[in-house]
Each structure stands twice: as C-alpha cells, then as structure tokens.
Amino acid sequence: DDKEQTDKKSAEQKTLADAHGSEEEGKTPKTGETDYKIGSGDILEIITWKEQDFSKELLVRIDGNITFPLIDDIHVGGLTPLQVKQMIEDKLKEFIENPIVNVTVKKPESQKFYILGEVPKTGEYPLIKNLTVLQAFALAGGFTEWASKKEIILIRHEDGKEQVIRINYKNIARGKDFSENIFIKANDTIIVP
C-alpha cells in the first residue's frame, strides 16, 4: 500500500514537472512571442522600418490570412511572429531594398483558456503571457463558498494526449507548494469542483 502511494505521488510530481518544463530548461516553461502561434482573431502590428505605407495593424481572418500592401494575402495562421517577419521581408524584397520588418502580436485573441465550476466568473478567458494558475483564479473572481480548493483539476491537451494535473490551491496560498502554481497554456481547462 505504501509503494502504491509512493508511485502515485511520484507520477503526480512527474506530471507537475512536465507542466513546468524540464530541469534543463530551468523550471520555467518557454513562453513569449518566439513560440506563440498566430491564429484567427489575433491582431498583428507589422512595422516596416522607414516605410510608413507598409506599417499596419492587421486582423488575422478566420482563414488564417492577412492582407498586406503589394503582397496581398499571406497565410500566417499557425506561424510564429518571427516566421511571419521573415516571410514578409522576403516578399517585400521585390519592392523595397533590404526591408526590415517587425511583427508583434498586439492582441492575442486566438488563444484562450477556460475556468469552470465553483468560481464567480466561469467561462473563456484570453491567454495572457506568463499567466499562472493563481492569476487565473484572480481573473475568475476567486472561489465561491462551496469550492473544493484542494481538488482542482487542470486538463491540458498536448501532442494529441490529454493530461490531467491536480492542483491544491491551499498549498499554493499557504506557501507550502509553489510547484503547483504552473503556467496556463492555450486551451487549458481548469475545473474547480
């Protein structure tokens, strides 16, 4: 029975470690614009140095495309801002000598996460860079009086697999176990029973 408990605890710790990133990556998951995948609904700010006519704020359409001057439609859905920058620079070379382009996701509207259960404001929320579980609860208005704060579940879909991560809010709030205060990823669903 002790071995079963130890194995279960070890599996949960591995799940939490996986959610945080590997040891080599330094306990913090990779985040930021370098790995952000652009999606429909995002608003991109594209600035072309010394070329005001080629500096635009553009909405990524439902088909994953944007329309850019001289280039027409460009498919940006699923690409990173860096990939879009390189693509636009390559296409602008026909019209501008050595174009320098900067692509920023001004409003990341395509990536969401969800909070359900015993919180005042259940629903869909836009994913904010480096958002933690604790911060997600703050966005949802905390907990209702019936919330079971020790039995929170985060469901994550990665690489075609569903991962269930158990979170004990009380351990985080009391400073006992900050490892459970993981970063939220796109399409995570948090359930507060």
Residues 85 and 101 in one domain: yes
For residue 22, being part of any structural domain is answered with no
Choosing from 107, 122, 139, the residue where a domain stops is 107
Mean pLDDT by 10 residues, the chain (193 residues): 49 44 34 70 93 91 94 93 96 92 89 95 89 94 95 92 94 90 93 97
Choosing from 89, 107, 125, the residue where a domain stops is 107
Residue 103 belongs to a domain with what CATH number? 3.30.1950.10
Residues 125 and 178 in one domain: yes
Residue 116 belongs to a domain with what CATH number? 3.10.560.10
Predicted local confidence at residue 8, as pLDDT: 46
**Residues spanned by the domain of 164:** 111-192
Predicted local confidence at residue 16, as pLDDT: 44
Of 165, 174, 176, 111, nearest to 133 by C-alpha is 165
Structure tokens at 111: 């990536």
Helices (H), 116-168: 133-139
User: Domain tally for the chain?
Assistant: 2
Sign of the alpha-carbon dihedral angle for 144, 145, 149, 155: negative
Residues 84 and 123 in one domain: no
Predicted local confidence at residue 33, as pLDDT: 46
Residues 95 and 130 in one domain: no
Structure tokens at 162: 């569903």
For residue 33, being part of any structural domain is answered with no
Determine the 3-state secondary structure of 127 from DSSP. Answer: coil
Residues 115 and 166 in one domain: yes
pLDDT in tens, 102-137: 999 988 888 899 999 999 999 999 888 789 999 999
For residue 17, being part of any structural domain is answered with no
Contact, 77 vs 26, CB < 8 A?
no
Residues 64 and 134 in one domain: no
DSSP string, 33-102: TTTPPP-TT-EEEEEETT-GGG-EEEEPPTTSEEEETTTEEEE-TT--HHHHHHHHHHHHTTTSSS--EE
